[in-house]
Amino acid sequence: METKKTYERPLIKPLNTGLMNKFGTRTDYATFPDIDGAPVADLLEKYGSPLFVYSENTIRKNFVDAKRTFETRYPKVQFAWSYKTCYLNAVCNIYHSEGSWGEVVSRFEYDKAIQNGVKPANIIFNGPHKSDDDLRMASKNGSLIHIDHFDELYKLHEIASELNIKPRVAIRVNMDVGIYPKWDRFGFNYENGQAWEAINKIIANGKLELVGLHTHIGTYIMVTSAYALAAKKMADLALSIKRQFNKTITYIDMGGGFASKNTLKGAYYPGTDTIPDISEYAEAITSTLLNAGFPHDELPYLYMETGRALIDNAGFMAGTVIANKRLSDGRSATIVDFGVNTLFTSFWYDHRVTHVEELGVHTEDTVLYGPLCMNIDVIRENIALPALRPGNHLVVHYVGAYNVTQSMQFISFRPAVVLIDTNGKPHLIRQQENLDIVQSHEVLPDYLNNK
């Protein structure tokens, strides 16, 4: 029997001259059939579509690389996994197994870290909202409480008196490091003297043990010199504390905010070409601290709370093409089964999207829509993709940070999450939601029950 030719949706594409961007990215013609050896189509069949997939190999490699990068430049480094970036227990435990502490910003995250076996003393409790009960609990446990505002500071004084203990604290410091936006809503300001006032109050009062200084200058910071400036100001504070109060600060926590290789919307160059390597961030921070003037035996520990840069490229969203359609202006549109409710970072990034099956090399500029009956549900406003057909599978890259934690149940169920272990074996680490799960917290008053 004669074999028929492989079919591809017919495409015709205008050829434009004079419009090329010589720095433009090439189109992804290559297929992306598997993640760490696990075929994407098989994963989708087994666990449902869409599906979040994490690569344990990549998570571990990211962490080991970052740790080595900092530790070869600075003798005392401690990483704390930023829970809010991705607090799936399986993911957190990978970081903890590599030696990472926990950095949390709520009681919910704190309790998760405790359940994941993190020693209370190795939990950094950040954030602007810690209830009185949270502060009592963290104080009793000896966790590191990073004070955000004066109300919290005074409350901790009360709690310290009430419990007759000396909570271990740091203050969060915000500062001008020449970037926009200036994150001055968190912590005490450096330039206007607020940070120094907080330090004075803590030391003068004597009820709290000031062990560290913390800053977190922003998110997705692409300028490493901002970190150098921040480290300089933190070191100046620590040295001033030593000079004025003869007190040695144990650690300087430089927070996170390192960019991943994603391409921000509106960026002219792709993120892969413009985002600094983690070694550039490390060099800016560590060389500043090493040259700040600390006595050799009083060099503070450097704590890092890097989240996004350690997880983004380890996470994938795999999904399925639902339909193709033509918009009123003739543009091609493709509807896929994952939307902005689960892929929140589509609002920020032009995510790389690749196809799983072998398709032709001809591409068409396409709008990629999610499945929600909402106009905002756009995954990519414009992307060159081969002639997709319903049922084809796609993989969205660099989605490991903030998507699972910020995804919301909306219109459809949130997808399952699978971890591919270091041997290429998939493990279900979060079940797909179903109607029972979604409705489990609803209460229907008897008088509205029509059954």
Partner 1 sequence: MVLKKNIAVSDNGFLFNPTTGDSYSLNATGIEFLKLLQKGKQNDEIIAEISAEFEIDTITVEKDLNDFKSTLVRLKLAE
The verdict on 296 binding partner 1 (CB under 8 A) reads: no
Structure tokens at 290: 């090493």
Q: Which of 14, 266, 295, 445 binds partner 1 (CB under 8 A)?
A: 14
Q: Which helix (H) or strand (E) holds 302?
A: strand 301-304
d(CA 424, CA 36): 6
Is 368 or 396 the residue whose CB approaches partner 1 more closely?
Answer: 368
Burial of 133 (0-12, 13-18, 19+ CB in 10 A): exposed
Contact stretch for partner 1 (CB under 8 A) within 2-10, 271-279, 289-297, 311-319 = 2-10
9 touches partner 1 by CB under 8 A = yes
The whole-angstrom separation of Cα 56 and Cα 35 is 11
Q: Of 91, 238, 387, 416, which lies in the binding site for partner 1, with binding defined by CB under 8 A? A: 387
11 binds partner 1 (CB under 8 A): yes
Q: Does position 27 bind partner 1 by CB under 8 A?
A: no
User: Does 37 engage in binding with partner 1 (CB under 8 A)?
Assistant: no
Nearer to partner 1, 122 or 392 (CB): 392
Q: Report the half-sphere exposure of 272 (CA within 13 A, side-chain side).
A: 10
C-alpha 369/C-alpha 347 separation (Å) is 12
Decide: helix, strand or coil at residue 443: coil
Nearer to partner 1, 12 or 373 (CB): 12
| Of residues 10 and 181, the one with the C-beta less far from partner 1 | 10
Q: Is 171 helix (H, G, I), strand (E, B) or coil?
A: strand
Question: Is 182 or 389 the residue whose CB approaches partner 1 more closely?
Answer: 389
State the Cα–Cα distance between residues 176 and 217, nearest whole angstrom: 8
What is the distance between the alpha carbons of residues 322 and 335, in angstroms, rounded to a whole number?
Answer: 5
Residue 6 contacts partner 1 per CB under 8 A: yes
Residue 4 engages partner 1 in binding (rule: CB under 8 A): yes
Both structure tokens of 29: 């013609």
Instruction: Examine residue 189 and tell whether it contacts partner 1 (CB under 8 A).
Output: no
Window 330 to 369, contacts with partner 1 (CB under 8 A): 330, 360, 362
| Candidate ranges 11-19, 73-81, 202-210, 258-266; the one touching partner 1 (CB under 8 A) | 11-19
CA angle 132, 137, 142 (to 5 degrees): 125
Q: How far is the CB of 15 from partner 1 (least distance, A)?
A: 5
Interface with partner 1 by CB under 8 A: which residues?
Answer: 4-15, 324, 326, 330, 360, 362, 387, 389
